[in-house]
């Protein structure tokens, strides 16, 4: 497996995130919630201050960097959500890099980072028709709830 690492982006590197979120193929899984997401440059500084610069333990954000290819392939994050009484995780791999094990590697790296940061449990609410639920289940997450809209998965770290 090619080496994937978590990479703390610089403010000026958020163009990758902007492209990731605006790509219809990458964001196809998000069709139930509107598909692509606008992330204009004028929002970068505020977003960066909350998600990357200020490390309060409430949020964590990194790029997935493919060392052998020298490219960013996705993002990994978690944040505290009182509705779930826990940390909601997110791993998003660019459509052009899917099917190469980067999602699995990113999810495992995110779990390791969360545990090192004192997080005890990660959850994710995945759209019911999103095939990534299999990835979560194969990396130690358990299904806790399912309805027609989403599947809630959870992992004790």
Closest CA to 82 of 123, 54, 117, 116: 123
Q: Is pLDDT at 130 greater than 90 in this prediction? A: no
Asked whether the whole model's pTM tops 0.75, one would answer yes
Residue 150 domain-assigned (yes or no): no
The arithmetic mean of pLDDT across residues 107-114, rounded, is 97
Question: Whole-angstrom Cα distance, residue 53 to residue 106?
Answer: 21
Q: What angle in degrees, to the nearest 10, is found between the helix axes of 15-22 and 41-48?
A: 110
Number of folded domains that form the chain = 1
Closest CA to 125 of 44, 49, 32: 32
Domain holding 52, by residue range, is 4-115
Give the list of residues 6+ apart from residue 1 with CB closer than 8 angstroms, or none.
101, 105
What are the pLDDT digits (tens) for 78-89? 999 999 889 999
The arithmetic mean of pLDDT across residues 1-8, rounded, is 86
Closest CA to 57 of 125, 8, 116: 116
- By the 8 A CB rule, do 92 and 75 touch? yes
Q: Is pLDDT at 2 greater than 70 in this prediction? A: no
The arithmetic mean of pLDDT across residues 42-60, rounded, is 93
Residue 106 domain-assigned (yes or no): yes
Residues of the chain with pLDDT > 90, as a percent, come to 79
User: 150: which 2 tokens?
Assistant: 């989403």
Residue 28 domain-assigned (yes or no): yes
CATH number where 56 lies: 3.40.630.30
Residue 149 domain-assigned (yes or no): no
Residue 55 domain-assigned (yes or no): yes
């Amino acid at each position: 497996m090619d080496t994937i690492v978590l990479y703390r982006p610089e403010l000026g590197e958020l163009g990758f995130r902007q492209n990731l979120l605006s790509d219809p193929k990458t964001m196809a899984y998000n069709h139930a919630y509107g598909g692509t997401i606008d992330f204009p440059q004028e929002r970068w500084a505020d977003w960066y201050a909350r998600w990357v610069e200020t490390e309060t333990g409430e949020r964590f954000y990194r790029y997935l960097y493919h060392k052998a290819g020298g490219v960013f392939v996705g993002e990994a994050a978690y944040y505290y959500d009182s509705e779930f009484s826990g940390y909601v995780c997110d791993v998003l791999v660019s459509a052009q890099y899917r099917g190469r094990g980067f999602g699995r590697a990113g999810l495992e790296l995110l779990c390791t980072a969360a545990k090192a940061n004192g997080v005890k449990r990660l959850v994710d609410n995945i759209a019911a028709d999103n095939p990534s639920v299999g990835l979560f289940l194969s990396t130690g997450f358990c299904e806790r709830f399912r309805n027609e809209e989403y599947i809630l998965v959870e992992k004790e770290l």
